[in-house]
Amino acid sequence: MAKLVDKMVVGINKSVTSIGANSKALVEKAKVNNSIGTLENECSKLFQLLGQKVFELHKSNSDISADSGVSNFFSEITQRNEQIAEYREQLKRIEEEARRAIETVPLTGASAGAVGDVCACGYANPAGYKFCAKCGIPAPEPTLARTDGNGCVCGYANQPNSKFCSKCGAPL
């Protein structure tokens, strides 16, 4: 029964973290996508103005050169396209951060010991870790518990009514 409850707690923790991470990522992605849309609209307007400028220059048999003001449009469009590329990279980072947040859901209960040991910061480290991979604090001293009768987790079979293991000194 305890294992079932522990599995449920882990599942709920993962679900809550997943919802939180995905909600945060969704809001951030919406802001970035809005910025991308604004820049794309500005590029469309610049392309339209560039086309009008080129048409006017062609109509008046003028030379299309850097002095004609066309190069300003090129640099403005290039600048916006670079900003759009930066925003798209930001979207990738947001998605990666959300994925990592979900993958590093802290585990609790008996199931945590099977996968790893949970640090005080909530990070689930591999079993037998010496220092937390997330915060760097040393692992707590292992708590040893009696496995059966007078047996110790170290595997030594102690005398009946022993309070401490004769082999490793762990409390029984």
Q: What are the backbone angles phi and psi of residue 118, rounded to the nearest 5°?
A: -90, 125
Between 165 and 40, where is the model more confident? 40
Summarised one tens digit per residue, pLDDT across range 117-150 is 677 777 777 777 778 788 888 877 654 444 456 6
62 pLDDT band (50/70/90 cuts)?
confident
pTM: 0.52
C-alpha radius of gyration, the chain, whole number? 31
Question: CA–CA separation, 149 vs 52, rounded Å?
Answer: 90
Question: Within a 10 A sphere around the Cβ of 140, how many other Cβ atoms?
Answer: 9
SS3 of residue 116 by DSSP = strand
Whole-number Å distance between alpha carbons of 46 and 134: 47
Q: Mind listing the pLDDT tens digit for each residue in 73-112?
A: 999 999 999 999 999 999 999 888 887 776 665 544 333 4
